[in-house]
A and B are shown apart, each in its own frame.
Chain A
Amino acid sequence: MTKIIVDGVEVDVPGDYSLLQAAEAAGAEIPRFCFHERLSIAGNCRMCLVEVKGAPKPVASCAQQVRDQRPGPNGEPAVVITNSAVVKKAREGVMEFLLLNHPLDCPICDQGGECDLQDQAMGYGIDEARTREFRRAVTDKNMGPLVKTVMTRCIQCTRCVRFAAEVAGVDEIGGIGRGEDMEITTYLEKSLTSELSANIIDLCPVGALTSKPYAFVARPWELRKTESIDAMDAVGSNIRVDARGAEVLRVLPRVNDDVNEEWISDKTRFVVDGLGRQRLDKPYIRQNGKLRPATWDEALAAVALRLKNTASDKIAAIAGDLVSAEPVKALKDLMASLGVANIDCRQDGAKLGGARASYLFNTTISGIEDADAILLVGTNPRWEAPLVNSRIRKAWLRHPLKIARIGAPVDLTYDVTELGEDFGALAKIAAGEGDAFKALKDAKHPMLIVGQGALSRPDGAAILNACARIAAATGMIGPAGEGGWNGFNVLHTAAARVGALDIGFLPGEGGRDVAGILDGASRGEIETVWLLGADEIDMAKLGGAFVIYQGSHGDAGAHRADVILPGAAYTEEPGLFVNTEGRVQAANRAVYPPGEARENWKIVRAVSGALGKPLPYDDIAALRTKLAADVPSFATLDVPAGSTGGDAATWEAVGKAGEISSAPLIYPITDFYLTNPIARASRTMAECSRLFVAAPAVQAAE
């Protein structure tokens, strides 16, 4: 720790703090454009100039460290002044130069109202131009379907260049030319090929990079802002949902250092137009082979009649990927009251369940930064959880980190040792052979990440068992207790999955799993199937079963349904989501569901009423109280499971020992942009898919 005096306030800060950080610690605000906490320091905007006692001229506070400052003649702490006339004049000079070439188009600029330059010009701008030269004009650059560019507004802070190179790991943006002619562009104006590309929109301190789908849609002060949780993947990114009237207009990240830092994936950000398309806004009943609009009373009566007249062993329920914990809990309780054991939440057939630590990302996402060896088993984190991938990249950039993979080679933006696509390699490591085993064994903080692609195979239980045995044998499972290390991780892809597993939405005694339900339905042994937002199963296999579809979008499930119960999407109801770490987070309602659609748990509750077996909760608070009572992990928000320890024997019981077939692995996500009904309804996602997923395949075929 080093002492420093900022504006007369003495603070004691770490020596590697920059003057800017020290000033903030002392309560002084420093304007800045190029400096960003999560990017490397460029020091090129000069807006953060401060006076340092003894220095001949103002210094850029972002690029000077506290420990490098010269103490006073008698060893007094260095003195920094941030509010003197010299500093103000220096910053005014910087601002004048920045504004020399900046267009005065704030009224038509999408950044207007949330623009760093606009805000700081209020403090340091002067009200008239002293030059009569022409302003420069820069041609706009293509950066893909998500980022709109107005490059004349660019002030060359290079935040986007650094983000692409450092965080996203795609070295595609650069500053070409020099001096006044410097321009920011991608190489030959190719589209950015990153799942995190749109974060440069938030990073841009001016209106040079703005959101293309959101262009000219709204002004920030018109929007109603709701803090919520993303449901596009199992990371549980913290988001802010901006809505006007009944429409969600955009999604922005919120800072949560333990989960998403301050980034979100492009899917999280731009899926919002899917919330307005293909919506189920009234109940439907299939009559003479055609769906007709119905009233809620009719639909509930039809569902209740059907459930009453079906034997309990011929009823089944499948929970989908986007639903929050409350409707899953309500549906589980309803099915229990009917005596139905055929319930499952694992649409992909992953062989998970059992002890909580055996299906969680135990290391936690921020814990990745401590890892020094990682084994990826059948997972493509870049598509399954882009923010987990960026964490791995962050760790890989910061310290030596050995990463090995079993699975097909895909570019993950960091170096990976390929162990082949054959799962024989896993058996070899489990037997304690080979360099990969040695690397894990020698590592201080080894990690294993197993993906849904591996676990949903027929031999998924054997793979899970092999992974658990590797974890136990290589010392990934530390001693139980606080601060222990647990390197065994399951990476989920569905936002609802961990919550549903926690609740135990799994086949009961003698019950069927998803494969069993589909098999039974196609053979007539299952007669009624309730799909709670489940669209990722093979609908053709449902055979002649009576299908109750409860969900928000007219996707695969609704097309097959006999009764449609329209539900809310993740932005339209309060709900608890448990992310892949086991962290319970609360999503909030940003807008009301469209038309007659209702909150999902209320629909289940209404069906229970129509059946004459009302569930014991009438509001969401009561439901959550019941949920926390039955499943204690729901009692605390925002805390990861952080499960540590356990002896080797318990870990060897995870999964089921057995033969692992040598069939090559198929990653669960074949198209990052179209993984769920909301994304499939989104035009922006369809455009991304066409450009980034379909087009490269066409090229490869040529």
Chain B
Amino acid sequence: MANRRLATQQPASFAFTADNLAWIEKLIARYPEGRQASAVIPMLWRAQEQEGWISEACIRWIADRVGLAYVRVYEIVTFYTMFHLAPVGRTHVQVCGTTPCMLRGAGDLIDVCKSRIAKQQKKVTEDGQFSWEEVECLGACVNAPLVQIFSDTYEDLTPESFNKLLDAFARGESPKPGPQIDRSFSAPEGGPLTLTEVKD
């Protein structure tokens, strides 16, 4: 885990969209009086969904909104690796590299990323389409190896199916999340092997 620091190039200002502002008002109202600062992580997450990353102006905006010192929000965004502190690609691929995925071939997926996207993690391709990073366990070890793109996971990948997946994103499509082989969730490949008489 490298040092997590703010990007050197920063926009001067930050603003939520009107929809997100309305969402934030609702969010903050959920917390009891005096505990509004607890909304800071959902707000940061929403900011990242909107902008793709967390800028310094965004830290200040959110700190002012929830009444925290700037340095407290700075601590939060540098602590959690899920917050991007520099711009990422429109399709940011998070490859799980933890033990089960590694045993099931995550290394091959990382090789695909290295050859197809960029040698280094978090480096954005010139067209701004892709970037990638290796992350810790994404919590779907039964479907290893897998990647997460936006909030969806794409599971049971091979280098071939992963390449196809990236092709689809490059064309601007939205591929179907979940296992990329013939199975439903974590059910056996090709259909059920037990309780076959049960029809659902």
Interface residues in chain A, defined as those with a beta carbon under 8 Å from any beta carbon in chain B: 165, 171-179, 181, 183, 185-188
In the complex, what distance in Å separates the CA atom of A174 from the CA atom of B70? 9
Known contacts A172-B69, A188-B56; A181 and B74 CB within 8 A of each other: no
Check B1–A179 contact: CB distance below 8 A. Answer: yes
Which residues of B sit under 8 angstroms from A187, Cβ to Cβ?
Answer: 69-71, 74
Check B71–A178 contact: CB distance below 8 A. Answer: no
B91 within 8 A of A: no
A-B complex: 10 closest residue pairs judged by Cβ atoms: A171-B69, A174-B71, A187-B71, A176-B78, A174-B75, A187-B70, A178-B79, A177-B78, A181-B3, A176-B75
Check B1–A186 contact: CB distance below 8 A. Answer: no
In the complex, what distance in Å separates the CA atom of A181 from the CA atom of B69? 22
What would 15 A/B residue contacts be, using CB atoms closer than 8 Å?
A171-B68, A172-B69, A173-B71, A174-B69, A174-B71, A175-B75, A177-B79, A178-B79, A181-B3, A181-B4, A186-B71, A187-B69, A187-B70, A187-B71, A188-B70
Check B72–A174 contact: CB distance below 8 A. Answer: yes
CB distance from B85 to the nearest CB of A (A): 11
Residue of A nearest to B6 (CB): A188
Tell me which of A171, A178, A183 contacts B72 (CB under 8 A).
Answer: A171
CB distance from A443 to the nearest CB of B (A): 22
Which residues of A sit under 8 angstroms from B3, Cβ to Cβ?
Answer: 177, 181, 183
In the complex, what distance in Å separates the CA atom of A173 from the CA atom of B5? 16
Residue of A nearest to B69 (CB): A171
Tell me which of B1, B68, B69, B74 contacts A176 (CB under 8 A).
Answer: B74
CB distance from B64 to the nearest CB of A (A): 13
Instruction: Digitize B108-133: 1 where CB-to-A-CB distance is under 8 Å, 0 elsewhere.
Output: 00000000000000000000000000
Residue of B nearest to A179 (CB): B1
In the complex, what distance in Å separates the CA atom of A179 from the CA atom of B68? 23
In the complex, what distance in Å separates the CA atom of A186 from the CA atom of B71? 7
In the complex, what distance in Å separates the CA atom of A644 from the CA atom of B75? 48
Known contacts A176-B78, A188-B56; A181 and B1 CB within 8 A of each other: yes
Check A174–B79 contact: CB distance below 8 A. Answer: no
Check B1–A171 contact: CB distance below 8 A. Answer: no
Known: A171-B69, A186-B71, A188-B6. 7 other contacts (CB 8 A): A176-B5, A176-B79, A177-B3, A177-B4, A178-B78, A178-B79, A181-B3
Residue of A nearest to B3 (CB): A181
Interface residues in chain B, defined as those with a beta carbon under 8 Å from any beta carbon in chain A: 1-6, 56, 68-72, 74-75, 78-79
Which residues of A sit under 8 angstroms from B6, Cβ to Cβ?
Answer: 188
CB distance from A3 to the nearest CB of B (A): 38
Which residues of A sit under 8 angstroms from B72, Cβ to Cβ?
Answer: 171, 174
Which residues of B sit under 8 angstroms from A173, Cβ to Cβ?
Answer: 71
CB distance from A511 to the nearest CB of B (A): 53
In the complex, what distance in Å separates the CA atom of A653 from the CA atom of B79? 61
Which residues of B sit under 8 angstroms from A165, Cβ to Cβ?
Answer: 69
CB distance from A397 to the nearest CB of B (A): 14
CB distance from B67 to the nearest CB of A (A): 11
In the complex, what distance in Å separates the CA atom of A187 from the CA atom of B70? 7
In the complex, what distance in Å separates the CA atom of A177 from the CA atom of B70? 15
CB distance from B175 to the nearest CB of A (A): 33
In the complex, what distance in Å separates the CA atom of A555 from the CA atom of B148? 70
Residue of A nearest to B75 (CB): A174
In the complex, what distance in Å separates the CA atom of A175 from the CA atom of B72? 9
In the complex, what distance in Å separates the CA atom of A185 from the CA atom of B69? 13
In the complex, what distance in Å separates the CA atom of A185 from the CA atom of B70? 12
Check A174–B74 contact: CB distance below 8 A. Answer: yes
Which residues of A sit under 8 angstroms from B56, Cβ to Cβ?
Answer: 188
In the complex, what distance in Å separates the CA atom of A673 from the CA atom of B39? 40
Which residues of A sit under 8 angstroms from B71, Cβ to Cβ?
Answer: 171-174, 176, 185-187
CB distance from B173 to the nearest CB of A (A): 37
CB distance from A173 to the nearest CB of B (A): 7
Which residues of B sit under 8 angstroms from A178, Cβ to Cβ?
Answer: 1, 78-79
Which residues of B sit under 8 angstroms from A188, Cβ to Cβ?
Answer: 6, 56, 70, 74
In the complex, what distance in Å separates the CA atom of A175 from the CA atom of B71? 8
Residue of B nearest to A183 (CB): B3
In the complex, what distance in Å separates the CA atom of A172 from the CA atom of B70? 8
Which residues of B sit under 8 angstroms from A186, Cβ to Cβ?
Answer: 71
In the complex, what distance in Å separates the CA atom of A148 from the CA atom of B196? 73
Which residues of B sit under 8 angstroms from A171, Cβ to Cβ?
Answer: 68-69, 71-72
Which residues of B sit under 8 angstroms from A175, Cβ to Cβ?
Answer: 75
CB distance from B70 to the nearest CB of A (A): 5
In the complex, what distance in Å separates the CA atom of A181 from the CA atom of B78? 10
Residue of A nearest to B77 (CB): A176
Residue of B nearest to A170 (CB): B69
CB distance from A458 to the nearest CB of B (A): 41
In the complex, what distance in Å separates the CA atom of A181 from the CA atom of B3? 6
CB distance from A172 to the nearest CB of B (A): 6
Residue of A nearest to B59 (CB): A187
Which residues of B sit under 8 angstroms from A183, Cβ to Cβ?
Answer: 3
In the complex, what distance in Å separates the CA atom of A171 from the CA atom of B69? 6
Which residues of A sit under 8 angstroms from B1, Cβ to Cβ?
Answer: 178-179, 181
Which residues of B sit under 8 angstroms from A179, Cβ to Cβ?
Answer: 1
In the complex, what distance in Å separates the CA atom of A186 from the CA atom of B70? 10
CB distance from B79 to the nearest CB of A (A): 5
- The residue among B2, B4, B75 with the most chain A CB atoms within 10 A of its own CB is B75
Which residues of A sit under 8 angstroms from B74, Cβ to Cβ?
Answer: 174, 176, 187-188
In the complex, what distance in Å separates the CA atom of A185 from the CA atom of B6? 13
In the complex, what distance in Å separates the CA atom of A178 from the CA atom of B80? 8
Residue of A nearest to B78 (CB): A176
CB distance from A571 to the nearest CB of B (A): 37
Residue of A nearest to B70 (CB): A187
In the complex, what distance in Å separates the CA atom of A175 from the CA atom of B77? 11
CB distance from A187 to the nearest CB of B (A): 4
CB distance from B7 to the nearest CB of A (A): 13
CB distance from A142 to the nearest CB of B (A): 14
Which residues of A sit under 8 angstroms from B69, Cβ to Cβ?
Answer: 165, 171-172, 174, 187
Residue of A nearest to B81 (CB): A178
In the complex, what distance in Å separates the CA atom of A172 from the CA atom of B74? 11
In the complex, what distance in Å separates the CA atom of A175 from the CA atom of B74? 9
CB distance from A628 to the nearest CB of B (A): 50
In the complex, what distance in Å separates the CA atom of A171 from the CA atom of B3? 23
In the complex, what distance in Å separates the CA atom of A640 from the CA atom of B60? 46
In the complex, what distance in Å separates the CA atom of A175 from the CA atom of B1? 16
In the complex, what distance in Å separates the CA atom of A171 from the CA atom of B73? 11
In the complex, what distance in Å separates the CA atom of A186 from the CA atom of B72? 10
In the complex, what distance in Å separates the CA atom of A179 from the CA atom of B1? 9
Residue of B nearest to A174 (CB): B71
CB distance from B144 to the nearest CB of A (A): 25
In the complex, what distance in Å separates the CA atom of A187 from the CA atom of B74? 7
In the complex, what distance in Å separates the CA atom of A171 from the CA atom of B75? 12
CB distance from A684 to the nearest CB of B (A): 25
In the complex, what distance in Å separates the CA atom of A187 from the CA atom of B77? 13
CB distance from A19 to the nearest CB of B (A): 29
CB distance from B23 to the nearest CB of A (A): 27
Which residues of B sit under 8 angstroms from A172, Cβ to Cβ?
Answer: 69, 71
Residue of A nearest to B2 (CB): A181
- The residue among A175, A185, A187 with the most chain B CB atoms within 10 A of its own CB is A187
In the complex, what distance in Å separates the CA atom of A339 from the CA atom of B50? 82
Which residues of B sit under 8 angstroms from A185, Cβ to Cβ?
Answer: 71
Which residues of B sit under 8 angstroms from A174, Cβ to Cβ?
Answer: 69, 71-72, 74-75
Which residues of A sit under 8 angstroms from B5, Cβ to Cβ?
Answer: 176
Residue of B nearest to A176 (CB): B78
CB distance from A129 to the nearest CB of B (A): 23
CB distance from A141 to the nearest CB of B (A): 12
